[in-house]
Structure formats: structure tokens, C-alpha cells
């Protein structure tokens, strides 16, 4: 019964609507005010999200990252970079490889493939950025004294489909064992 009374009031209201009572200028002005308010709210939300994204990216590129520490073990014929497990002091053989692009970027990473915590000036800690569509994206974390505009290089490595590759993830760097 009560719903029928409300419905009849709404129908009566629509049938008794008079265009003389409708003030289109007030309606358009209030609509414009609301559009401007929504526009400003969206701008503020965009800048807050951009700022938060920058803060998160700087944190994850540095020593306090929430991204996992990574160790990638693969056969030597699958990677151009990397150290041999049995003799880590030998540089990788680059015979048979070709390069396109900035040779300096490659040279900056060559020789720094392993996590090195013994050098407090420049510890190298590799982190997993993401795994997508058969690719693994790794980057060396920035040291504590890095500038805010420093950006680490990202390595894209194709995942193995043959099971010959091993990816070890850890929330933190391994500790030295005392024997």
C-alpha cells in the first residue's frame, strides 16, 4: 500500500510538471559548477596518484625495496651476461653475440652481474621487477646514496621453456654463513 502511494505521487508529479516552473539557467549553472568540481577532483587525484607512483618507484629501486631479491641460474648458451658457477672471475665469452644500441649500457653491467654486499659504496642487489609473457625483467637496485633522478637499467631475459633455468626469489639478500 505504501509503495503504491509513493508511486502515485511520482506519476502525479510528472503529469503536473510545468515548463514555466523550470529555470534552465539555474540548472545549467549548477550543472557547470558540478562539472568544474568533478574536473578539479580528477586533477587532484591524478597528481596524488602520480606522486605516489614516483615515491613507490623510488623506494622499489633503492635498498628498501619491497620487490624480491632474485638469483637467476641458466645455461651459459642462454645468457650473454652472467658468471660461471665454477669460476666466477672469468668474464662471460661474448663470441657469437652481436649488439645494437648503446655499448656503454652493456659495458656498465658487464662484470657486475653478481650481488656484491662487500662493497659498501656500490652494493649490487638484483631485484625482480616482473614476469610477463615469457619474459623476466630484472634490475640492479640503486645504492643508498643514489640521486633522486637516478634510474637503474632493466634486463629482459626470456624464460626457458625447457626447464633448464632456475629463478630463486627471496624477500632479502642472503646472509654470510659462518663455518
Q: What is the DSSP string of 13-47?
A: HHHT--TTT--HHHHHHHHHHHHHHHHHHHHHHHH
Instruction: Return the domain boundaries, the chain.
Output: 2-59, 67-170
pLDDT class of 178 with cuts at 50, 70, 90: very low
Out of 34-38, 134-138, 175-179, least confident range: 175-179
Out of 28-32, 48-52, 116-120, 160-164, least confident range: 116-120
Q: What percent of the chain has pLDDT over 70?
A: 88
* Range of 46-50, 68-72, 80-84, 113-117 with top mean pLDDT: 46-50
pLDDT value of residue 49? 97
d(CA 144, CA 147): 9
pLDDT class of 113 with cuts at 50, 70, 90: confident
* pLDDT higher at 84 or 147: 147
Query: Residue 119 pLDDT > 90, yes or no?
Result: no
Contact at 8 Å (CB) between 169 and 70?
A: yes
Can you tell me whether residue 134 is helix, strand or coil? coil
Q: How many helices (H) and strands (E) would you count in the chain?
A: 3, 5
Amino acid at each position: 500500500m505504501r509503495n503504491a502511494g509513493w508511486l502515485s505521487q511520482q506519476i502525479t508529479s510528472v503529469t503536473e510538471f510545468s515548463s514555466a516552473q523550470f529555470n534552465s539557467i539555474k540548472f545549467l549553472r549548477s550543472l557547470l559548477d558540478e562539472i568544474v568540481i568533478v574536473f578539479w577532483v580528477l586533477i587532484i587525484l591524478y597528481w596524488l596518484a602520480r606522486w605516489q607512483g614516483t615515491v613507490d618507484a623510488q623506494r622499489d629501486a633503492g635498498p628498501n625495496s619491497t620487490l624480491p631479491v632474485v638469483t637467476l641460474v641458466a645455461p651459459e648458451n642462454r645468457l650473454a651476461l652472467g658468471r660461471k658457477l665454477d669460476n666466477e672471475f672469468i668474464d662471460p665469452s661474448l663470441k657469437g653475440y652481436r649488439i645494437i644500441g648503446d655499448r656503454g649500457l652493456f659495458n656498465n653491467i658487464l662484470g657486475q652481474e653478481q650481488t656484491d654486499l662487500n662493497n659498501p659504496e656500490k652494493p649490487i642487489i638484483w631485484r625482480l621487477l616482473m614476469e610477463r609473457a615469457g619474459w623476466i625483467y630484472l634490475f640492479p637496485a640503486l645504492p643508498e646514496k643514489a640521486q633522486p633522478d637516478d634510474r637503474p637499467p632493466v634486463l629482459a631475459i626470456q624464460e626457458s621453456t625447457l626447464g633448464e633455468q632456475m629463478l630463486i626469489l627471496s624477500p632479502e639478500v642472503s646472509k654470510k654463513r659462518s663455518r
